[in-house]
Amino acid sequence: MRRGAALTREALALEIEALIDRLADGARDDAARDALLSKVAAWQREHVAPVARLAARRDDPLGFPAVPTDVFRYVRVAAHPPAEDARVFRTSGTTSGQRGASCLSTLSLYDRAAEVEARRALFFDGPMRLVMLAPHPDEAPDSSLSYMLGRFEDWFADPSAETGARWVFSEGRLDARALSEALETDAPTAILGTSFAFVHADDALDARFALPAGSFVMQTGGFKGRSREVAPDVLRAQIAARYGVAEARVVSEYGMTELSSQMYEAALREAGSRDPEAPRRYAVPGWLRVTAVDAETLAPLPDGAPGLLRIDDLANLDTSCGVQTSDVATVHAQGASLELHGRAPGATPRGCSLAVEEALDDR
């Protein structure tokens, strides 16, 4: 690794870790976040070729442009050479056929961001028994979700429970018998998995369960043709009824392979104080900047206006801190929370399509 680049990266990583730790309790310091985002973006412009190409062709009112997720499918987006990859996470490829890749030289920032936010949003009562409806990381080493859940086992599984963590989804199939056995317990349990795995479970299980007080469910991701599609509120109600937990204790996670940080619906922390009829919102960690942007121009929209979701993630030091998604969202509370509305309909939004061309064009 180039000595100068390594020293600069190391210094930036230390600054990012310090900010994540300082904001771990949900505090915000948007001025410090934005200043550090500018430094990281400037460094990435020097070391990440697609970021440099996009920045050379596009002025952006937020200070630097965001790389569309499609770019991660076509070219390597990384500040280091392949020989220095510590881990490569890949998208499922079930939507487009071509898999995007997030290449990381170290997992320390990913781990820091994942642990801090999951502890704040999900595991604030301490370790508990875990049941995973997703492949184990040994089976899916390039899945960022499997990796994250594996780390959850390290950080949050209660070693005093009968079995700290049970993995009941392997080789692309749910083990319904193992799931049923895992749910016969008197210990508070967290069930964590993909949306399509929960659909498979609901189709496969005859029994209904009554999980002990303190239990909760976290589901994430879309269906990607792996199961029948179920509307979010319907799936939430089905999960609550199947496992015997209140709907307030069924929360969604928002994450993607191209990001190193995650967001969770705030319902679990707000249980007992929120209006159950109010729209679900995701709490935004203080080291993320979320912005709804115009689908044609990618220009920022004001709070409360739905648009394409742009996420600036400080933990994305090795790739691009600015990531332009094709999801539609409304940002609230000056970026402290957001409401998701699903994928933009139809073809790739024009603004994203143009930015993809600019990031790939090396003339």
The H or E element spanning position 253 is strand 250-254
> Residues 127-138: what's their mean pLDDT?
96
Q: What is the pLDDT of residue 145?
A: 96
Dump pLDDT digits (tens) for 247-277.
Answer: 999 999 999 999 999 999 998 988 767 777 7
Per-residue pLDDT band for 32 (boundaries 50, 70, 90) equals very high
Indicate if the pLDDT at residue 2 is higher than 50. no
Least confident among 17-21, 134-138, 220-224: 220-224
- Helices (H), ranges, 205-339: 232-243
Q: What is the pLDDT of residue 223?
A: 62
Per-residue pLDDT band for 4 (boundaries 50, 70, 90) equals very low
Least confident among 39-48, 85-94, 198-207, 302-311: 85-94
Least confident among 24-28, 334-338, 351-355: 351-355
Its pTM stands at 0.93
Average pLDDT, the chain: 92
- What is the rounded CA–CA span in Å between residue 146 and residue 108? 16
> Residues 181-198: what's their mean pLDDT?
94
The two structure tokens encoding residue 104: 């990381």
Q: What is the largest CA-CA distance in the chain?
A: 63
Torsion of CA 291, 293, 299, 300, to 10 degrees: -40
Q: What is the pLDDT of residue 1?
A: 44
Indicate if the pLDDT at residue 146 is higher than 90. yes
Dump pLDDT digits (tens) for 78-124.
Answer: 999 999 999 999 998 655 568 999 999 999 999 999 999 999 999 99
Q: What is the pLDDT of residue 160?
A: 85
3-state SS, 24-70, equals CCCCCCHHHHHHHHHHHHHHHHHHCHHHHHHHHHCCCCCCCCCEECC
Q: What is the pLDDT of residue 203?
A: 92
